[in-house]
Structure 1
Amino acid sequence: MISNPLEDPFYYLKNFQHVLDWIAARYDDVLSVDEQCFITGFAQLPVASQALWVRMVMRKGEHFRASKLNYPEIGEPSRAATALLALGWLDDQAPLGLAEVFELLQKPEILARFSAHITRPKARKSDWLEELAGVFPQQQSLGQWHPGLGEALYSLNHRALCDRLRLMFFGNLGQSWSDLVLADLGLFSYERVEFSPESRALRCRADIEGYLHLYACREQFELSGDAEAVLQQVLDYEVDNRWLQRRRARLLFQLGQHLERAGALDRALQLYQHSQHPDARQRSIRVLERQEHYQAALSLAQVAQQGPVNDAEHQHLLRIIPRLRRKLGLAALAVVKSTAPDRLDLCLPRDDASSVEQQVVAHLHTGQAPVHYVENTLINGLFGLLCWPAIFAPLPGAFFHPYQVGPADLHEDDFYHQRTELFERCLAQLDDGRYRATIGETYAAKKGLQSPFVAWNHLPPGLLAEALECLPAAHLKLWFRRLLLDIRANRTGMPDLIQLYPEQKTYRMIEVKGPGDRLQDNQLRWLAFCQAHQMPVTVCYVQWQEPAQ
């Protein structure tokens, strides 16, 4: 927290200035002339003008009516806007199309201005717009559209520049300036990590432009649904930054999926072959199968079988290789049938006010054997608490601003290998019993801080204490090591419920399936893992009781 919002009405301004200082100190060698001029010019503005600019840039949209810029600490918006207009950072005569005018005006204001052309006064705004669009094709200022309004409209001219600064600070465009405000208001709190002056998300100007290029391609694709319009731009983009390589691979994979669904199989296959996405090889095999190129599909599957990318690919290969062999007329391979997990069938009265999982909790829960609806939160939470020092270790490239939920390389292939010694030090505590005290101390010291693993609202102290008594350290270690093998894939799919038996110091996990529901692939992988290590796990199938006649 840079400034206390309860004591300083300009807290958001001081935070924004802190961001600019941070960027100037770390990105001085890559800032464009426009960005340097903005940072210098901002510092020279009157405080009210600075505050108005920050208020506007933190809001969505480009156009703002003066009446919507009512902030007591700023005062009259027209005075605060004067210096911004002089610099060209704001425009009070921006040309607007009719659709933009309709977004800015209320229904009575629209009716007052266009009543002569509106045939259905009680219709919706969208109906009026459709009716008038052909009559008013021009673009002009709001004052020209509605001379009687008597109110200024201020339009931001540097949104793209501020987005670039936001990218440099956060390392992504997914986080917004409002994250600073939420932290100041105490809604979000973050772990303090040491930063070096060299800490930054993007190494050079080419990285910044590359990120923006991929972001623009993705936005264009999502808005238009036309993969071909951006496909070549993404294919032609080459980069040696691993983080940007991963973003490019993900976008190529998404474009490939879109083309595959559209039946453009040759084009989809080309994209999958260029993508380094972990699922790209699976999809390539599937496309070859759909094209009836069975031998090519089988050959690629057999290559994959020698070194599956992850458990999901291994699971996929176990299904598709026998099918491809059948289509090629080859002999069937011996299949090792896995043992089905314990099964529990329940017939419960239907209660639409609660989920099926909650109804099973209510049915099975007793004082001696409490049941908790934890899904993925318990094991992830215990892992996050024990391994907190390794997760938040200030390694180069992991942290570069104070508002990170977790390390930037959390889903990189080498996340564990970069921290092997740190993680092994944490996991070693499971061998000598120290883990209980460590988890409890971390819970007390870090409660409420943002974490990629700990969902505090789902891990109350009572559940934590019971879990540490009932879950064997050996099982915790196996779960944690599986998490570290593939964090993105293995942090989900865990059983919904856990039943604890404090007197016996044991437990059982329960996956709940309602009528018509079936086990998902990631759930099947977790169930198989638990069975392979003799962990007590049950699949509960629920049917609803027939209502009484």
Structure 2
Amino acid sequence: MTSISARAATAPLDDPRYYLANFRFVLDWVAKRHADLLATPERAFLEAFMALPEASQALLVRMVMRRGEHFRTSRLVYAEIGDTETALAPLVEADFVDADPALDIATLFAQLRLPELRQALAGEIAAAELSPGLSKAALNAALAPRLDDSRRLTDWWPAAPDRVVRLAVMATCDRLRLMFFGNLRQDWAEFVLAELGVQRFESVTFTHDSRAFRSRREVDAYLALHRLRERLDAGESAAELKAELPEMPANNAWLMAHRDRLCLALGRQAEREGEVELALSLYAEAGWNEGASSEARIRRLRLLERQGRHAEALALARPLVQDSQACTGAEAQALDRLLPRLARRLGEPVAPRLPEPVPERFTLELDPMGASLGVERAVADHLHRDAAPVYYVENALINGLFGLLCWEALFAPLPGAFFHPFHVAPADLYREDFVTRRRAHFAACLALLDDDSHAAAIRATWREKRGLASPFVHWETLDEALIELALACVPAAHLRACFERLLGDLKGNRAGLPDLVQFRPQAAAGEPRYRLIEVKGPGDRLQDNQRRWLSFFIAQDMPAAVCHVRWWGMS
């Protein structure tokens, strides 16, 4: 069992080859913790890489960290590496770099500047009777249909002053990066940001179970989903991509959720393309698995409704309403609106809807000069008093106090939660079983609210963990003065109610909280010592997640209001 902090995992930035030390750290980590997931190509890469001269290792890492796979040698000049050609030669010999790759027209345009393209393609420009003064984009549009083959740079441009080389091991490096991070969103910059102190991370204990993937098949499945998502973003049709959706390994809820998100995105694309049946099938795949997307379920029902298939939609919707525990607040709200419409269209009786609770409302007329600050800050400035200070907090206050009180629960080192030293949040934060797996941890944290020991715990965590990355604590907003006022003025019972609601749907309920909080430390006995205020400018309306929080506050008898703003002299 090893505990490694993010800073200990990085190399000092006064080492000019710090990036190479970071890359070696990742390779060593993967080799030790993921050896059973490595096949011959990765093992061969690890062995051959370590046998390279250090300058060649450094140049390879520089290329891996840059965008794309093609590089002009004139742009691979680094003082700490020395002569580029000397460092390149071992990489070419090891087949890590292709010294003279064939380039299609898109790659050629990406590598050459406009004056160079005019020289390299002078014959083609003349043959197409194009003006030599065309922009790069116009030249590309005109020549691309005519030049659909691939050629070496010397064939495109015999007088080229340097070479274009291609990194041939990017796929292998991406696979190793994926095994380290558990995703492809994070990259080598994480090390640098941590070393510079831009981001600091909680230290978590790692065991053999602290890894994202249990089998090579799971790694392959993730990579397949990632490539499909890239192709979707590049504009390929939903039908083409659905045909290539991979089967997921059994008993991996995290990967299945990843697949569900892709199906949801494909479904939205299919809708845009007018492929109704395809969209419905994709929403069905994304929304009817255990713990699957509630958004996909609602999109499927709404699409059926738009198609006039009301009976089919109603038959699917009713079981969702009956299984209230499986519904998020957003889904329950959407179903509460959808079911009466479907029932009316089918001539079925409609149960009367309970009226939505109406929050306290008030209107302020403000100087339009304050609009430059933003409507929320203008209201905060207007309402602020020394004896009743107002803070613009939006989602930062309730979430932040929750994150501080429940820090130990959120960062409990459970299997499948943390894979490497650079986690802002547990990898399973939004998985259906996140809270269930930590039920005892959260219960212990919330129990501190019962005897008012929560205040000391929150203060201690703020002092000890200040500045560490957290999914709930926004350190720039949550300063010590704000915390002290909140602890003095917000009853523990109100905090517990809010925290329990957060735990009911961490992803959905962390947003939609009121913009402002006003504290009244000197309020008379029996009077509330704080008030939450949602601000709405002219023409702005409450969003659904804001309505849900306001209804909750009313039900809990918590002081909250909506402030509507008008600007002087403006209709």
Cα deviation 1:222-261 (Å, max 9, x = unaligned): 2224110011332755643111111112222222233334
Q: Is 1:536 matched up with 2:559? A: yes
Q: Kindly tell me: are residues 210 and 127 of structure 1, through their superposed partners in 2, closer, same or farther at Cα, counting changes over 3 Å?
A: same
Counterpart of 2:423 in structure 1: which amino acid? Q
Q: Which residue of 1 aligns with 2:511?
A: 492
Q: Is 1:257 matched up with 2:280? A: no
Between 264-273 and 393-402, the greater mean CA deviation after superposition = 264-273
SS of 1:163's equivalent in the other structure is helix
Identify the match of residue 69 of structure 1 among 73, 76, 97.
76
Q: Which residue of 2 aligns with 1:420?
A: 439
Counterpart of 1:15 in structure 2: which amino acid? N
Q: What CA RMSD, in Å, does the superposition of the two structures yield over aligned residues?
A: 2.1
Counterpart of 1:501 in structure 2: which amino acid? R
Counterpart of 1:508 in structure 2: which amino acid? R
Following TM superposition, by how much is the alpha carbon of 1:179 offset from its aligned partner in structure 2, in angstroms? Answer: 1.5
Q: Which residue of 1 aligns with 2:353?
A: 335
The separation in 1 between residues aligned to 2:368 and 2:225, in whole angstroms, is 48
Q: Kindly tell me: are residues 533 and 231 of structure 1, through their superposed partners in 2, closer, same or farther at Cα, counting changes over 3 Å?
A: same
SS of 1:279's equivalent in the other structure is helix
SS of 1:224's equivalent in the other structure is coil
Cα deviation 1:325-375 (Å, max 9, x = unaligned): 211223331222133101121222334533221222222222222221111
Matched-pair contact (CA < 8 Å) for 2:224–2:246: no
Q: Is 1:298 matched up with 2:309? A: no
Matched-pair contact (CA < 8 Å) for 1:95–1:142: yes
Q: Kindly tell me: are residues 288 and 53 of structure 1, through their superposed partners in 2, closer, same or farther at Cα, counting changes over 3 Å?
A: same
The separation in 1 between residues aligned to 2:438 and 2:259, in whole angstroms, is 26
The separation in 1 between residues aligned to 2:155 and 2:143, in whole angstroms, is 16
Counterpart of 2:137 in structure 1: which amino acid? S
Between 452-461 and 36-45, the greater mean CA deviation after superposition = 452-461
Identify the match of residue 296 of structure 2 among 280, 290, 299.
280
The separation in 1 between residues aligned to 2:380 and 2:31, in whole angstroms, is 54
The separation in 2 between residues aligned to 1:3 and 1:330, in whole angstroms, is 65
Between 406-415 and 308-317, the greater mean CA deviation after superposition = 308-317
Counterpart of 1:50 in structure 2: which amino acid? Q
The separation in 1 between residues aligned to 2:239 and 2:148, in whole angstroms, is 30
Q: TM-score, normalised by structure 1?
A: 0.95
Following TM superposition, by how much is the alpha carbon of 1:105 offset from its aligned partner in structure 2, in angstroms? Answer: 2.1
Following TM superposition, by how much is the alpha carbon of 1:26 offset from its aligned partner in structure 2, in angstroms? Answer: 1.3
Cα deviation 1:273-293 (Å, max 9, x = unaligned): 222322333233223322323
Q: Which residue of 2 aligns with 1:506?
A: 529
The separation in 2 between residues aligned to 1:264 and 1:111, in whole angstroms, is 43
Counterpart of 1:472 in structure 2: which amino acid? P
Q: Is 1:86 matched up with 2:89? A: no
Matched-pair contact (CA < 8 Å) for 2:10–2:191: no
Structure 1, gaps ≥5 residues long: none
The separation in 2 between residues aligned to 1:238 and 1:36, in whole angstroms, is 24
Following TM superposition, by how much is the alpha carbon of 1:263 offset from its aligned partner in structure 2, in angstroms? Answer: 3.9
Between 184-193 and 106-115, the greater mean CA deviation after superposition = 106-115
Identify the match of residue 41 of structure 1 among 32, 43, 48.
48
Q: Which residue of 2 aligns with 1:163?
A: 174
Cα deviation 1:131-174 (Å, max 9, x = unaligned): 44356444223344333342232321111111111111111111
Correspondence list, 1:455-470, <5 A? 455-470=474-489
Between 395-404 and 260-269, the greater mean CA deviation after superposition = 260-269
SS of 2:201's equivalent in the other structure is coil
Matched-pair contact (CA < 8 Å) for 1:48–1:75: yes
Counterpart of 1:519 in structure 2: which amino acid? L
Between 284-293 and 33-42, the greater mean CA deviation after superposition = 284-293
Matched-pair contact (CA < 8 Å) for 1:514–1:543: yes
SS of 1:282's equivalent in the other structure is helix
Following TM superposition, by how much is the alpha carbon of 1:39 offset from its aligned partner in structure 2, in angstroms? Answer: 0.8
Matched-pair contact (CA < 8 Å) for 2:209–2:416: no
The separation in 2 between residues aligned to 1:502 and 1:108, in whole angstroms, is 69
Q: Which residue of 2 aligns with 1:100?
A: 107
Correspondence list, 1:339-418, <5 A? 339-351=357-369, 353-418=372-437
Matched-pair contact (CA < 8 Å) for 2:73–2:164: yes
Q: Kindly tell me: are residues 56 and 32 of structure 1, through their superposed partners in 2, closer, same or farther at Cα, counting changes over 3 Å?
A: same
Q: Kindly tell me: are residues 327 and 136 of structure 1, through their superposed partners in 2, closer, same or farther at Cα, counting changes over 3 Å?
A: closer
Q: Kindly tell me: are residues 512 and 257 of structure 1, through their superposed partners in 2, closer, same or farther at Cα, counting changes over 3 Å?
A: same
Q: Is 1:60 matched up with 2:67? A: yes
Between 258-267 and 421-430, the greater mean CA deviation after superposition = 258-267
Between 107-116 and 187-196, the greater mean CA deviation after superposition = 107-116
Correspondence list, 1:164-243, <5 A? 164-234=175-245, 239-243=250-254
Between 79-88 and 350-359, the greater mean CA deviation after superposition = 350-359
Q: Which residue of 2 aligns with 1:519?
A: 542
Q: What is the percent sequence identity of the aligned residues?
A: 46
Counterpart of 2:136 in structure 1: which amino acid? K
The separation in 1 between residues aligned to 2:141 and 2:264, in whole angstroms, is 38
Q: TM-score, normalised by structure 2?
A: 0.91
Counterpart of 1:292 in structure 2: which amino acid? G
Counterpart of 1:319 in structure 2: which amino acid? R
Counterpart of 2:28 in structure 1: which amino acid? D
Query: Alignment length, in residue pairs?
Result: 548
Following TM superposition, by how much is the alpha carbon of 1:485 offset from its aligned partner in structure 2, in angstroms? Answer: 0.8
